[in-house]
A = this chain, B = another copy of it.
Amino acid sequence: MPRPDVSDERKREILKAALNIFNSKGFTAARMEDIAREAKLSVGAVYWYYKSKDDVILAIMDKVIADDMAVMKQLLNETGTVRQRLIKYLQEGAQEGIVYLPLTYELYTLAQRNAKVRHHIQKHIAHYHDALAEIIQQGIQRGEIRKVNSQVVATTLSALYEGALELAMLDSKNIDVTKTLTQSVNIIFDGIAT
């Protein structure tokens, strides 16, 4: 009688542990032993499931992005005006995103020297822009927004979002992401409203 396959379970546990460790210490300072301890396993066990530290990092990236996508998709099926929905979308995205922002910045930094990481992130950004552009397009069709290039506005909103998170990460005392995003998006909507 075969025992249930613990492989997936363990991998998830290790990834969760790695997520915490990487987020609080950074990729470089994080020791494989830290991850093992956090996952309540031995170092060897971690290596049983992931063949190197880089492997864990890549898996983390996949997970972070996949989770992000899930949040995104869910937020797209909301009701209300486009302005309201976008503000809610960006705000909630930011609230989720800020928790693992240190890790995100580790990934961005890594992306500059690792093509695989970079391409993964690029694909993610493209998805994200498309989702934003789609909402904008809806706004145009409903007459809430005047005829603008939805891709351009999507990029603007995306840059705003990323920038707001960055500023908040660097100076959380003086910069409130939610407030900043709300105000900024309103300014932009004033500029593109019919």
- List the one stretch of A36-44, A75-83, A184-192 in contact with chain B: A184-192
- Which residues of A line the B interface, CB within 8 A? 25-26, 28-29, 102, 105-106, 108-109, 111-113, 118, 121-122, 125-126, 148-149, 152-153, 155-156, 158-164, 166-167, 169-171, 174-175, 180, 183-184, 186-192
Q: Is the CB of B170 within 8 A of A155?
A: no
If A163-B161, A167-B162, A192-B190 touch, whether A109 touches B112 (CB-CB below 8 Å) is: no
Chain B residue, CB-CB nearest to A111:
B170
Q: Is the CB of A159 within 8 A of B170?
A: no
Q: How many copies does the complex hold?
A: 4
Taking CB atoms, residues of chain B closer than 8 Å to A183 are 149, 152, 155-156
Query: At the interface, is chain A mostly helix, strand, loop or mixed?
Result: helix
What CA separation (Å) do A148 and B190 show in the bound complex? 12
Q: Is the CB of A167 within 8 A of B156?
A: no
Taking CB atoms, residues of chain B closer than 8 Å to A170 are 108, 111, 118, 121-122, 125
What CA separation (Å) do A90 and B161 show in the bound complex? 18
Query: Which 5 pairs from chain A and chain B are nearest by CB?
Result: A163-B163, A191-B191, A159-B163, A190-B191, A162-B163
If A167-B162, A170-B122 touch, whether A112 touches B108 (CB-CB below 8 Å) is: no
Besides the contacts A158-B167, A160-B184, what 19 more A-B pairs have beta carbons closer than 8 Å? Answer: A26-B112, A28-B28, A29-B113, A102-B109, A105-B105, A105-B109, A109-B109, A111-B170, A122-B174, A153-B187, A155-B183, A161-B163, A163-B166, A166-B166, A187-B188, A188-B191, A190-B191, A190-B192, A191-B192
